[in-house]
């Protein structure tokens, strides 16, 4: 019981850190980009990852965690894939309307469920699917406004969905199959993510903003907000890997939509963004969906624990075509 309570406490802590840091960085970046005119999101993300890696390297030197070797091919593929997915999401936002971009983010959950069902043989109950549908409906009502389609934007959105889903599934799968912690995986993959974004970021940002990041005039105030954004990003990146590792990619996406609702609410409260009855209805519906998802997941977890305690433990070998060269003696993980 003590181990279960400790695990649940760790999950709650990871969820809280993820929500708090994500909402904070959205508010910080909104001030940086909207008020101060620094619109180079992809390049900024590469700086986030560089600072994250440097922070983890200092933590490693101070013996806050132990490094664990992961096959270079696996971690390189994983890091580059995550870097590409970030670039594609930014391009999708640039080439599509805000409404279509929000639809792209909503599509990540059902596509993740589809991939995990096909490749990882995971089973999602009808109750879980119903709660996810209610959640997506609510977020859609609250955040999706105009839907303007174009060919290039649609292709970019599709690629962004695919790479994001695979990247998040791999984040969970690598941690559990190779028995590495979220910190160890982030430490080894961050340099590759940062590198791909550092090289492509200025080009992507110039395509989207028609401005050059290197010719931007950096004032002390802008540099201060950039530094603050990078420091918050350390907690965002760490909590992302932590939440996906302790829960699942689908749960992380559900949490992401909670952040969306909170950002809308905070935007109205702190930044006086426009707020309508539609936003209120959408947020309330989304909250109902999140509550249903949390309740059904909790019940299913308890049922599985009861089944596991009453039946003999039977170890099955996992097969995952999404992960190359898995550990031969990795432990099964409960969904």
- Output the pLDDT for position 272: 67
Mean pLDDT of 231-242: 95
- Output the pLDDT for position 278: 87
Query: Is residue 224 scored above 80 in pLDDT?
Result: yes
Helices 2-30 and 220-246: crossing angle, nearest 10°?
A: 150
The predicted-structure confidence for 112-132, as pLDDT tens digits, reads as follows 999 999 999 999 999 999 999
φ, ψ dihedrals at 66, nearest 5°: -105, 140
The predicted-structure confidence for 242-286, as pLDDT tens digits, reads as follows 999 989 999 999 999 888 888 777 777 776 667 788 888 999 999
Query: Is residue 182 scored above 90 in pLDDT?
Result: yes
Q: Where does the pLDDT of residue 5 fall: very low under 50, low under 70, confident under 90, or very high at 90 and above?
A: low
Q: Give which of 12, 80, 89, 85 is closest to 243, Cα–Cα.
A: 12
pTM of the entire structure?
A: 0.83
The predicted-structure confidence for 289-310, as pLDDT tens digits, reads as follows 999 999 999 888 888 877 777 6
- Output the pLDDT for position 326: 43
Query: Is residue 335 scored above 60 in pLDDT?
Result: no
- Output the pLDDT for position 2: 53
Give whole-number Cα distances, 3 to 9, 75, 161, 312, in Å: 10, 30, 36, 20
- Output the pLDDT for position 259: 85
How is 294-326 classified by DSSP, letter by letter?
Answer: HHHHHHHHHHHHHHHHHS---------TTSSS-
The predicted-structure confidence for 11-68, as pLDDT tens digits, reads as follows 889 999 999 999 899 889 988 998 899 999 999 999 999 999 999 999 999 999 999 9
Mean pLDDT of 181-195: 96
The more confidently predicted of residues 145 and 73 is 73
- Output the pLDDT for position 52: 97
- Output the pLDDT for position 315: 43
Q: Comparing 95-99, 157-161, 165-169, 174-178, which segment has the lowest mean pLDDT? A: 95-99
Name the average pLDDT for the chain: 87
Cβ atoms of 296 and 134 closer than 8 Å: no
Q: Where does the pLDDT of residue 102 fall: very low under 50, low under 70, confident under 90, or very high at 90 and above?
A: confident
Query: What are the start-end ranges of the E strands in 60-143?
Result: none
Residue 211 has what DSSP assignment? S
Q: Where does the pLDDT of residue 98 fall: very low under 50, low under 70, confident under 90, or very high at 90 and above?
A: confident
- What's the angle, vertex CA 163, arms to CA 264 and CA 286, rounded to 5? 30
- Output the pLDDT for position 222: 96
- Output the pLDDT for position 303: 85
Cβ atoms of 207 and 87 closer than 8 Å: no
Q: Give which of 195, 215, 219, 218 is closest to 206, Cα–Cα.
A: 215
Mean pLDDT of 62-82: 94
- Output the pLDDT for position 311: 58
Distance CA 28, CA 48 (A): 13
Give whole-number Cα distances, 281 to 142, 252, 276, 284, in Å: 7, 23, 9, 5
């Amino acid at each position: 019981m003590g181990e279960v309570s400790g695990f649940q406490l760790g999950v709650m802590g990871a969820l809280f850190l993820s929500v708090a840091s994500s909402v904070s960085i959205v508010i910080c970046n909104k001030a940086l980009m909207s008020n101060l005119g620094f619109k180079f999101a992809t390049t900024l993300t590469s700086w986030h990852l560089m600072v994250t890696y440097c922070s983890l390297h200092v933590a490693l030197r101070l013996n806050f965690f132990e490094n664990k070797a992961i096959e270079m091919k696996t971690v390189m593929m994983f890091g580059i894939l995550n870097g590409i997915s970030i670039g594609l999401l930014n391009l999708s936002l640039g080439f599509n309307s805000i409404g279509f971009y929000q639809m792209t983010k909503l599509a990540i959950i059902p596509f993740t469920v589809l991939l995990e069902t096909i490749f990882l043989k995971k089973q999602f109950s009808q109750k879980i699917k119903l709660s996810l549908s209610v959640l997506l409906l609510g977020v859609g009502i609250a955040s999706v406004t105009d839907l303007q389609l174009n060919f290039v934007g649609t292709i970019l959105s599709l690629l962004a969905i695919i790479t994001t889903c695979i990247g998040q599934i791999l984040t969970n799968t690598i941690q559990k199959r190779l028995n590495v912690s979220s910190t160890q995986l982030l430490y080894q993959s961050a340099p590759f993510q940062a590198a791909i974004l550092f090289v492509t970021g200025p080009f992507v940002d110039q395509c989207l903003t028609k401005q050059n990041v290197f010719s931007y005039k950096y004032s002390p105030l802008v540099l201060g907000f950039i530094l603050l954004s990078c420091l918050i990003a350390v907690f965002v990146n760490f909590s992302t890997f932590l939440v996906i590792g302790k829960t699942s990619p689908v749960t992380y996406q559900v949490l992401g939509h909670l952040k969306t609702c909170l950002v809308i609410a905070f935007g109205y409260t702190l930044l006086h963004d426009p707020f309508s009855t539609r936003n209120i209805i959408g947020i309330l519906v989304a909250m109902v969906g999140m509550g249903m998802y949390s309740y059904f997941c909790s019940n299913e977890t308890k049922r599985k624990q009861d089944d596991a305690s009453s039946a003999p433990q039977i170890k099955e070998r996992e097969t995952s075509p999404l992960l190359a060269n898995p550990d031969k003696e990795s432990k099964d993980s409960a969904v």
